[in-house]
Amino acid sequence: MPRPTFYEFFCGGGMARAGLGPGWDCRFANDIDVKKARAYAQNLGAEALRIGDIHELAAADLPGCADLAWASFPCQDLSLAGPGGGLAAKRSGAFWGFYALMAALEREGRAPNIIALENVVGALTSKAGADFLAICGALQRLGYRFGALTIDAAHFTPQSRPRLFIVAVRCSLRLPPGLIDAGPRQSFASRALLRAHALMPPELIDDWLWWALPAPPRRNQALADIVETAPADAPWRSEQDTAALLEIFSRGARAKLDAALSRGGRVVGAAYRRMRPDGQGGRRMQAEARFDGLAGCLRTPRGGSSRQFLLVAENGATRSRLLSAREAARLMGLPEEYKLPSRYNEAYHLVGDGVVVPVVRFLAEHLLEPLAQSAIAPALEAAE
């Protein structure tokens, strides 16, 4: 059977492609960011890559037909930590450029059988749920049935990173047995997803699918396992700087650190600074931390408060430093041979904006590949 094919939009450094793996053929990849595209080309080749604004692409730019269109469209306007502009704003509104391309392919009879969208879970609640309904409505207008899953990368890598995945299939596609459930599976349906589903009008419910995936695997790695000894791009900070970080720990973060230290041995945790109300009408910097074997969600380094610090306590001393670029890449499930940009901020921005590779592989193995094979098999039979 031939390998399934795909288009990759908002491709960044190619993490969706890395997750799909060598069993898939990429026919087209696009991103507007020249630096990310450079990393994509260096690691995956430039043959299928097109750099530019998705709004300026036309159906004629997309070669042939593809079984899957993957789109990890920008999340900034949908994120709970973002400005809240939603799908009407410039960055997350790039979804509509993707929609226009899919509509053009539909008119030409070249629409992919599968569409996979990835974004932050804030997409479920953006504009009081209206943006999620708009996405589902757009897929329905294109002739697709659709379902959504919330998957935390913590099942696969030592990073807490819940994300929303919407997988849509052509209404004409015959679905393989065992891929649909009568209701949601707890591991992949957050309360926010259940609330968003409850708000759906009947006409959208008619095309809703609850995807049936197996239980997520048991993660076999902790944050301590991915830590480098002395990375050149993230040197250990001075005792004074570490003391200053510990000084602004919230009460909860301090309690977590004390509990971890009381267990003895080497303690590895992650800390991140946030602006919090000071109780007097102003705001002050405060540090939150976790010592549960996970890093917090990687965010792109726009300002020092978004960067995560590693804390390592052993032999009565506590040290701190930023996560290295390679450590961040490991948290995203990228292989060691993946070539990162030489500049720290560029590398961190690349991986922090990506999709976790083992999550894509899990989706591909248990959902996307069975769907693609279901579409390919009838075509082969007809050709014979």
**What is the per-residue pLDDT across 269-286, written as a single tens digit (0 to 9) for each?**
999 988 888 778 888 899
The pLDDT > 70 percentage for the chain reads 92
pLDDT value at position 306? 64
What pLDDT is stored for residue 383 in this prediction? 42
Q: For the chain, what is the HEC assignment?
A: CCCCEEEEECCCCCHHHHHHCCCCEEEEEEECCHHHHHHHHHHHCCCCEEECCHHHCCHHHCCCCCCEEEECCCCCCCCCCCCCCHHHCCCHHHHHHHHHHHHHHHHCCCCCCEEEEEEEHHHHCHHHHHHHHHHHHHHHHCCEEEEEEEEEHHHCCCECCEEEEEEEEECCCCCCCCCEECCCCHHHCCHHHHHHHHCCCHHHHCCECEECCCCCCCCCCCHHHHCCCCCCCCCCCCHHHHHHHHHCECHHHHHHHHHHHHCCCCEEEEEEEEEEECCCCCEEEEEEEECCCCECCCCCCCCHHHCEEEEEEECCEEEEEECCHHHHHHHCCCCCCCCCCCCHHHHHHHHHCCCCHHHHHHHHHHHHHHHHHHHHHHHHHHHC
Q: What is the pLDDT of residues 293-332, one digit of tens each?
A: 999 999 865 544 468 999 999 988 899 999 999 999 999 9
Q: Which of 193-202, 204-213, 373-382 has the lowest mean pLDDT?
A: 373-382
Instruction: Check whether 381 has a pLDDT greater than 60.
Output: no
Residue 299: per-residue pLDDT = 81
What is the rounded average pLDDT of the residues 131-159? Answer: 97
Above pLDDT 90, what percent of the chain? 81
Query: Which CATH superfamily includes the segment(s) 5-217+355-383?
Result: Vaccinia Virus protein VP39 (3.40.50.150)
Q: Is the pLDDT of residue 81 over 80?
A: no
Interval 200-221: pLDDT, tens: 999 999 999 999 999 998 899 9
Domains of the chain by residue range: 5-217+355-383, 223-351
